[in-house]
Amino acid sequence: MTDQPEVLVRVQKNVGRLTLNRPQALHALTQTMCETMIGALLDWRDDPEIYMVVIDHAGERGFCAGGDIRMLARSGAGDAVEARAFFHTEYQLNHLLFTYDTPVVAILDGVVMGGGVGISMPAHYRIATERTTFAMPETGIGLFPDVGGGWYLPRLPGKAGLWLALTGARIKGADCLRLGIATHFVEFGAVEGLKKAIIADPRRIEETLRKYRADAGKAPLVSFEQDLNRLFVGVGVEQIFEFLEADSSDWGKAQLATMKTKSPQTLKVAFRQLEAGAAMTDFADNMAMEYRIGSRVVRRHDFIEGVRAVIIDKDNAPNWDPAKLEDVSDAMLDEIFAPLPLDQEWSPLT
């Protein structure tokens, strides 16, 4: 155990610094971490001396691997009060960052998954490196691509967002740059110099980023982008499965094999989530939808079972229920997406 704070909060010259500091858990977010970041961001929001905010991580292992999944499963198996409180706070942090006027820089070095996506995608400047690994892998544990996934993923080029949501595919820095997940690419060895340069003169951020910009190389996505946009179409997950089953390409077969390991319930939840989020015009509406989903999914069999299989027992053999896509009914989805009682709905910070 350590008495170090889970988020290091400080001001350097005219820059607010938020450094995730839970390396033993790959900086997975806790409610306390979210509350700490909210408090700092609110303090800095109207401070004329704060020109910029930088979000990064301590240590070598990665930016942020998500949320505290074990806690969510433990809580979901009971009354889910702790899980709902975490989602409520985390989503308020996501929304605060989305509406934040002071420029935010997120250093997407190493693992960027789940909750890490939620605190980095709203940033004005998102810096990838050759060590970046980005993913929304929630369908593999019976959860769903939350923290704004319903907003960001359908707004990526083509069908890339739907592919990422359904397969949990991991992509590297060059692909992040191609899809607009990252705004800039900098070599890992230059990141500390970049941060020092930003702190030295935050108002010249554009010039600094030009100076530190590096060549990300060819994006692997280019080699299968046409297949992706050809196959991940249709009116539902079943139709995507049909297209993949009829496809002769090795890439298509690999995507089908991957998706067959995922929770059928979560695949359909994610598809509906992205479809609904794409039509929304207010990020807060998306977060309210995701809070409804999260409040319910965290208590359902597939999430508890997915965490058991992937994270606790690590046998990677979850028994999904329903086990088949066709058995995930529209009525089941309607129940997951339905409004909550008024006193239980999510709302942004006032």
The catalytic residue among 90, 109, 138, 305 is: 138
Q: Is 146 left (phi over 0), alpha (psi -120 to 50) or beta?
A: beta
Do 139 and 266 touch, CB atoms closer than 8 A? yes
The span from the CA of 72 to the CA of 86, in Å, is 8
Per DSSP, which regions of the chain are E strands?
A: 7-12, 15-20, 52-57, 104-108, 111-113, 125-128, 133-135, 171-172, 184-185
Residue-wise burial string across 12-26, b where 16 or more C-beta atoms lie within 10 A, e elsewhere? eebbbbbbbbbeebb
The span from the CA of 350 to the CA of 344, in Å, is 16
The span from the CA of 259 to the CA of 168, in Å, is 9
The catalytic residue among 16, 62, 110, 115 is: 115
Question: What's the length of the chain?
Answer: 350
Residue 223 amino acid letter: S
The span from the CA of 286 to the CA of 84, in Å, is 16
Active site residue 79: no
Active site residue 138: yes
The span from the CA of 32 to the CA of 90, in Å, is 10
Chain centroid to CA 251? 24
The first and second tokens of residue 63, run together, are 């930016």
The span from the CA of 230 to the CA of 226, in Å, is 6
The catalytic residue among 146, 175, 225, 305 is: 146
C-alpha dihedral over 38, 42, 48, 54, to 10 degrees? 10
Active-site residues, by number, are: 67, 115, 138, 146
